Structure 1
């Protein structure tokens, strides 16, 4: 698409509609041109300039994406420099290692791009869902309303991983190259500053 960017939301499950809306608003507010679409097939993924992998159940997303070959195509695109934003379960999918507080190491298909180890459901059952003010000063977002839903946290990071935010000493947002991961759900807040940051990242790559 000439002159505009093509952003895809991996539409296997999770907050697809909310992410489409937040991304469209971000593009509009930045005065840019672009389209935002649900993507499921390898062909659709081939055409993208950026991809958001929304929250949901990461094991389901991983398995379903494997079925239609999308995972392989996503891997190729990220390897060639396409920016990608993984939210909650989407961040788990982008990670190298996931473990569950209850069941230990998880055998699930992971994209293996973020050099992090993740603990699923890190905030425990009693805090299945909660909201809190957080900050991501490194990317110019000093105050953000974080919505956490059975959120994971990052328990180890590799040397190339930039920590963007912590909550209660737990790492909840990271960036490595063109890959961003958050444990919280920015699409559920009405605050599109993180989506705007991601759209700008895509713009810089094009």
Structure 2
């Protein structure tokens, strides 16, 4: 790998374009990933926000769920925002019927924990590992983390709830930094990818 990592954005549903822009601004070569052969060509992957049940079902339908699980288990760096956080959880407290996860982070999440669409909000969030002050976080029907395992590091909280975690090569936020123009969380992830590759 060159100094410029190739980072994919799972492009089955969700805010793909915004992540592609954020990754490019953090000096990564960003590309959409829709098929297993595209997944095999990236050094790291972002699982975007969207609707977690829909993303789960589409990943199964398009033959992506098992390749995703295999790459994450093998240590590929992965970053999930909002719905992506839910997909990276080992367990969902309130899953929808047929909802599966990729796994990769020893955490239990609660879907839509911060409320419905009309209760969405923005907040400044201090994120461990991100310098320069708080990150602007956009919370849209956002999950929160109910609990984490021993290997999972809590790197941000908001309102007494866990909203960002890191476990080895996996990073997850319940908020959307890609919607704000503040790409420091993406830069942290790009650095994680560089460290592994």
- Listed as ranges, the gaps of 5+ residues in structure 2 are none
Matched-pair contact (CA < 8 Å) for 1:99–1:105 = no
Equivalence map 1:152-191=2 (5 Å) = 152-191=143-182
TM-score scaled by structure 1?
0.90
Could you tell me which of 142, 152, 162 is aligned with 2:133? 142
How far does residue 83 in structure 1 lie from its aligned partner after superposition? 0.5
1:83 aligns with 2:77: yes
Equivalence map 1:30-49=2 (5 Å) = 34-49=28-43
- Listed as ranges, the gaps of 5+ residues in structure 1 are 28-33
Aligned equivalents of 2:108 and 2:46: distance in 1?
Answer: 20
Aligned equivalents of 2:96 and 2:82: distance in 1?
Answer: 18
Report how many residues are paired: 197
Matched-pair contact (CA < 8 Å) for 1:98–1:105 = no
Summarize the Cα distance change of 1:50–1:194 in structure 2 as closer, same or farther, 3 Å threshold.
same
In terms of fraction of residues, the more strand-rich structure is: 1
Matched-pair contact (CA < 8 Å) for 1:86–1:94 = yes
2:121 maps to which residue?
Answer: 130
Question: Secondary structure of 1:136's partner?
Answer: coil
How far does residue 75 in structure 1 lie from its aligned partner after superposition? 1.3
1:96 maps to which residue?
Answer: 90
Highest Rg: 1 or 2?
Answer: 1
TM-score scaled by structure 2?
0.94
Aligned equivalents of 1:161 and 1:3: distance in 2?
Answer: 28
1:30 maps to which residue?
Answer: none
1:23 maps to which residue?
Answer: 23
What RMSD, in angstroms, separates the aligned Cα atoms of the two structures?
A: 1.7
